[in-house]
Amino acid sequence: MSLSKDLLDLLENKDEPLAKRLKLADNAFKSVELPLQRKEAHLLKWLSKITKADDDTSWTLLLNWLRSPQVHSLNRSDITHEELQYLLNVITKRYKHEERVPIITDCVLEIVQNKTFQLFFKHDLLEYCKFVTGAILKIKCPVQLHSFLSNKELFHKHIINSENFYRHFLEHSLPALGTILLRFKDAETFVIVSELIDRCLFQRNLVVFTEYFRSVFEEGGVEHDLPKLLLQTLSGSDRRLYKLVFHSFCNSYNKFDLMYKFFVVLLQVLGFEVGRFFSSKLFEERVFDKRVLVMTDLCEILHERNCDFSCRIKETSFADFLEYSLSDVLNSVEPCPDSYEFLNKFIALHPLVVKTRLDEVLGFVLKDKCNAPQREKFLLSLFEVFAKLHRITNLISAMVNTVEKEKAVDSVDVPLGVLTYFTQCVTTMASWQILELYKAFLVQLDEAVINVGNEDNSAYVEFICVLLCQFLMSVRIAEHTVPTTIVESFEKNMIQLKDILRKFGTALVCLEHNPRLMQAYLNLCLKWGDVQITLAYYENTSVETLLDNDYSATNLTYLHSYLTREQWRLISQRIANFGEKRCKQIMQSLCVQKLKAMRLFEKTMIADVVPPVVANILASLDDQNEDLIFNQFVLQNLIIPNCQEGTVRILVKNIVANNGVDRLQQLVQNPNVIGRVLYEFLYRLNKAFGKRNRERTLTSKILKNLTDNLVEVSDLITVKESLKNENDFNCTVNETELNTYLDLMRSVPVAQFENRLVVETVFLYMVALRVDLKKCVLQDSTTLGICENLAIGIAQSLKLSNNVVTPTIIELIVENFEKYDEVFNFCMQSLLREKLFFGDVLGVIVQNLNQDRFMHCAIIFLDYLERFKNSKLPDDLRRYREEICQKLFSFVQTKNERMEKLTEAFAFVLKLYLIKNNEAPSQELLSYVDEYIDMIITSDGHIKGAVLFLLVVIKNKVKCRITDATVIQIWNCIHRLQTNEERHFDKLVALTLQYVPDDHFNLSSSKLLTATETDGFEKHLHLWILISSSNLTSAQTKTWQTTLDLLLYQKIFPRLKLKHDTLPESLVQLQLAFLQNAKLPLSASLLESVLLTVSLVATNDRETFVKRFNLSISLLESLIKNRKTLTVDYLPTYLQRYRTLLNHLCTNSNSDLKLSLDDIEQVSHCAHKFEKLTKSLVSYDRALMRISPNLIADILKQFERLTIYPNVKVHLNNCLYQLLALCDEHSVAYLKRVLSTASTEMFKVVYENYNKYYKFTGKV
């Protein structure tokens, strides 16, 4: 005992450093020779006492001790309950220090896993639950939380089986788990917590809950405490715990009868009156405040299960109980986002229950005036249910009847998304259903119009009109596929609707003005007129028109003759005086509709009819509906021919306000107005600058020399002169307005205009704008890039002349643009392409060669001349080149720090003098070659210049006196450069390989294989691709084949796992390189690697399908085209990949996926490539003749299995026709015999079409 006390006294001595005392304690703890009783307990207590929140060393030591064999081998006599309690208290007090939570939780796990400690915990479960719960609540990292909760020693079975565990767990731990879900809202956390509850509450208690439910719903059964305790805990908890417990219960007991019973009990806890179904005594406490929220969660969980709706408790099926619970909720809550969320989950669970309670549901939904997205989602789901049942007419009738019963005063809101889906339903309806729905609308509207004067009836009439208008907008009755009898019946209904419109309009003009009813009526008239015009035009039916001598805009009797001229005039006057904006817009649309009808049905247009309509539209252009003013007919025939001052400004204002880039395209297509639109854009861009210095900007100077129509620009001299005097000043700019109009400018294809002066004017303005913006402090740096890209786009058209490509403009571009090199390149090409004078511009470049930017421009010019053969280079360009090289000659002869920047210039100068065989300058330059090579070998900068220089040197190996050692240095340098963009790099690799010794190539190949293990793995693959495309010697070929095998099988294939990895693209490029290189023999392993790649790359994942499919197709096509003989030997394996791609293509073109139009187009492109692959396959007629029936059967099986989009199916049908060309009569008979019934029927159709339209008969 004295030895133990001495040790503790020594450890308590604060005069000694803590690190020394910790080391002494650790040695004593691990020593087996130290004769101390209960040594571990004493040391643990001491260490716990001195462990501080900010001391990493002591915490680490404590964790190591808890993990040590000494602690795990303790028995109950080695440590007391008080000592363990002290340790727990110390750790619990440290929970508040968040920075120590990770190591504390590790200590907690070690404590709860200790078998001896578990014996103590069995007798103090309250302390155990508080201890573990405290640790759980302090964890902030989701990964650490998942690891902690997933530990099987947490809540060990010995603890769970202890008496009173459930009481303490439900009181302390379960609420804490609900708090965790509030903090971490991800699905993974929910699942892990649910699994923990399963392990603690449900896993061993199937009999307990079965007996409890028997005691509740049947006679007999034993009541247990756990279910009651659980329900008591839930009654005082929030919705998260209900969802968590029910989810865990359903996962534990995968028996739907138990789920049903637990669901009923939970609903009774929530306050549902279930006694009308179940007379047994249920749980007595009830909670009403969160019933809808909890019910929503319970329905969501049940939706994930395979529910048996016929399952019964006593005489009540699950479907019946759901029907009751739906009614209970609808009668007890008001419409709100939460109630709509419940309805959405409920209809997903069992749609047919909603159908049986349709009147109640519609009464609940349609009386609500809110625009919550949940309400729109539910209405959409409701329409989807009835669309699948082909009962849309029933749903519409029920909705109309519900609105009639409600006697609502306010309008009934129908979300736009619901109306759009209603349109889809109408377009897919059978003809008889359309007539049935139309007839139902007419009957209801006719009855409603009788009482149109009743204020309680207004919402009802308005609601019918809204749905009927949407119906008339959606119906496709004039298509050639519609039977004549259906069209005639539809026309009769149109006549009936015309009569109803007469009654409706006559009643309206006799009543006091009602804006809502008037808008509904006018909208219905407009839609009726549109359908009437369509029928008359496409079906050649007679249309009743009335032409009189009243040419006023408000006389609509020409088409709408069901009202008199006086009635239409009265309606127009009311709208003008009292009407809302929307009514006025519809009235203008009716006037335009009259003009359209007259244009179609009259031989000549009466000139006096148009001006009143035009005057009305232009007088209130600001208030017009954008759909009207941007209607093609209105824009081209009414607005643009009568364009007034300010009209374009209003149009542009409308485009900006509505972000109408599509609308802008309509103006772009009209040459009479686009000049004005462009001027308006330029004007607004200038207005974005602050007033203080706006007049000093270059853009202001340009605008002063322009008219309001850029098409009228006849001379750019004054415009160009305004850019010569650049001022130095600071300016402010409205970036929002600037970006708005720059985005609109990007939508105008200025570069495609035939009028070159317009193109050049906009280019000059963009240059001036970029110079002005340089004087502003911008928050968004992308604005400068947009401005430069606009200038680049115009210059790229190569339509610029000497009018704008002047020394002054080039200086402004080079000094102010970030992408000056691109703009200069295109400007230079514009002049040289048209053989225009380039000397002035070149003079500016030559004068400023001491500046890096101007030298770069000179190099761009020299690089452009590389596309010409030296013998065919025009004299003026040859003279320009020599002038620049002479000027550069003195610059490149240097050995200072600028050598790296001058590498590219040195390459061009050296190349010129080597071509000219000018010995004196060449010798001077050759003296610097070694210095430049040494600099390139040791530097990573200016790769483009380095590649060009090395290419010149290797091409002139003898003249440059390059030794084999230098070639090896260059080859090693090429390994390091690894550029994917430089266009000369592939030539450099191919040329250098010719001089690399075989032994060094073997060594460098090994090094290259080792380099692929680094992080820049994919960058190295570009060099592999270039080497695989080069001509190799026989020794190099053998080495390279072996190296490729190692690369593919050991390095690349193991990495093909990441879904969004770019490695598959690089891999396919590599394999295409050696497949297309006819001089590189293909070994069996390399061919198999290609086929293996197709299997690994091809995927069914929708996100990467198109990209991966195209990669796989390219490999299979290359095998057929470039390695035909080898492919025949591997044809069975090849066709396995063919079938894999077929399966993936059909799976991803399934119409059930509801792909977007862009996705459908992409998949159809994939199908077209698959068709081309099949066409290439058919060339193996001998090898494929016996297999083609099986391929046909595979395609037909896909047709039988899936409903494929027509855009894709047409290509697969072409594949069938190509394969049928290889089938003889025996193959056809075989197919008819072995195919399934459905496939046989499809094959008969395909074979009949093949014989009719595709089979070659030899006849011309």
| pLDDT (mean) for 602-607 | 80
**The predicted structure's pLDDT at residue 405:** 85
Is residue 281, in this structure, part of any structural domain at all? yes
- Domain end marker among 874, 892, 910: 892
* Distances from the Cα of 1192 to the Cα of 1094, 1174, 1197, 1209, 1212, angstroms: 21, 11, 9, 14, 10
* CA atoms of 679 and 710, how far apart (whole Å): 6
Same domain, 687 and 713: yes
Share of the chain above pLDDT 90, in %: 11
Q: Report residue 140 as tokens.
A: 């902030």
Does the pLDDT of residue 933 top 90, yes or no?
no
1194 versus 640: which is more confidently predicted?
A: 1194
Same domain, 805 and 863: yes
Does the pLDDT of residue 47 top 80, yes or no?
no
Q: Report residue 1027 as tokens.
A: 């080497």
Q: Name residue 689's beta-bridge partners.
A: 733
Question: 793 phi and psi, to 5 degrees?
Answer: -60, -40
Same domain, 808 and 707: no
DSSP state of 1016: T
Helices (H) and strands (E) in the chain, counts: 68, 2
Is residue 790, in this structure, part of any structural domain at all? no
- The model's pLDDT over 258-283, given as tens digits with 9 standing for 90+, comes to 888 888 888 888 877 776 666 555 55
97 versus 289: which is more confidently predicted?
A: 97
| pLDDT (mean) for 739-747 | 88
- Domain end marker among 369, 388, 420: 369
Q: Name residue 1150's beta-bridge partners.
A: 1204
| pLDDT (mean) for 349-374 | 84
Quick one: pLDDT band at residue 221, thresholds 50, 70, 90? low
Quick one: pLDDT band at residue 525, thresholds 50, 70, 90? very high
Q: Report residue 176 as tokens.
A: 């804490």
Same domain, 740 and 849: no
**The predicted structure's pLDDT at residue 220:** 61
**The predicted structure's pLDDT at residue 8:** 58
Any idea which of 510-514, 984-988, 1054-1058 has the lowest mean pLDDT? Answer: 1054-1058
Nearest Cα to 632, choosing from 585, 681, 596? 596
Quick one: pLDDT band at residue 1213, thresholds 50, 70, 90? very high
Q: Name residue 313's beta-bridge partners.
A: 316
Question: 790 phi and psi, to 5 degrees?
Answer: -65, -45
Same domain, 897 and 881: no
| pLDDT (mean) for 844-853 | 86
Tell me the average pLDDT of the chain.
82
Quick one: pLDDT band at residue 98, thresholds 50, 70, 90? low
Does the pLDDT of residue 1257 top 70, yes or no?
no
**The predicted structure's pLDDT at residue 721:** 73
- The model's pLDDT over 758-803, given as tens digits with 9 standing for 90+, comes to 888 899 999 999 988 888 888 888 888 999 999 999 888 888 888 8
Share of the chain above pLDDT 70, in %: 86
- As a whole number of Å, the end-to-end CA separation of the chain is 117
Same domain, 761 and 819: no
Quick one: pLDDT band at residue 58, thresholds 50, 70, 90? low
Nearest Cα to 46, choosing from 71, 64, 26, 75? 26
Does the pLDDT of residue 1167 top 90, yes or no?
yes
- The model's pLDDT over 788-842, given as tens digits with 9 standing for 90+, comes to 999 999 888 888 888 888 888 888 899 989 999 999 888 888 888 777 777 888 8
Is residue 812, in this structure, part of any structural domain at all? yes
Question: 1204 phi and psi, to 5 degrees?
Answer: -95, 145
Does the pLDDT of residue 1018 top 70, yes or no?
no
Same domain, 814 and 735: no
| pLDDT (mean) for 328-338 | 84
- The model's pLDDT over 415-444, given as tens digits with 9 standing for 90+, comes to 888 899 999 888 888 888 899 999 999 999
Same domain, 265 and 348: yes
286 versus 1245: which is more confidently predicted?
A: 1245
Q: How far is CA 207 from the centre of its chain?
A: 49
Same domain, 909 and 874: no
In 721-865, DSSP assigns E strands to none
How many residues are given for the chain?
1260
Does the pLDDT of residue 916 top 60, yes or no?
yes
- Domain end marker among 342, 369, 396: 369
Same domain, 906 and 989: yes
**The predicted structure's pLDDT at residue 506:** 92
Q: DSSP string covering 415-442, please?
A: -HHHHHHHHHHHHTS-HHHHHHHHHHHH
Using alpha carbons only, what angle is made at residue 1215 by residues 1214 and 1220, rounded to the nearest 5 degrees? Answer: 95
Is residue 961, in this structure, part of any structural domain at all? yes
**The predicted structure's pLDDT at residue 1:** 44
**The predicted structure's pLDDT at residue 178:** 85
**The predicted structure's pLDDT at residue 229:** 87
Does the pLDDT of residue 7 top 60, yes or no?
no
* CA atoms of 1188 and 1174, how far apart (whole Å): 11
Is residue 1209, in this structure, part of any structural domain at all? no
Are the beta carbons of 242 and 298 closer than 8 angstroms? Answer: yes
- The model's pLDDT over 866-908, given as tens digits with 9 standing for 90+, comes to 888 877 788 888 888 888 888 888 887 777 667 778 888 888 8
* CA atoms of 199 and 187, how far apart (whole Å): 19
Rg (C-alpha) for the chain, rounded Å, is 42
Same domain, 681 and 727: yes
| pLDDT (mean) for 402-420 | 82
Quick one: pLDDT band at residue 1260, thresholds 50, 70, 90? very low
Helix (H) or strand (E) holding 312: strand 312-313
Same domain, 928 and 819: no
Is residue 919, in this structure, part of any structural domain at all? yes
pTM summary value: 0.69
Is residue 496, in this structure, part of any structural domain at all? no
* Distances from the Cα of 511 to the Cα of 463, 465, 507, 574, angstroms: 19, 18, 7, 11
Which residue range is the domain that position 942 belongs to?
A: 893-996
Query: Which of 4-8, 361-365, 963-967, 1207-1211 holds the top average pLDDT?
Result: 1207-1211
Count of structural domains within the chain = 4
Is residue 333, in this structure, part of any structural domain at all? yes
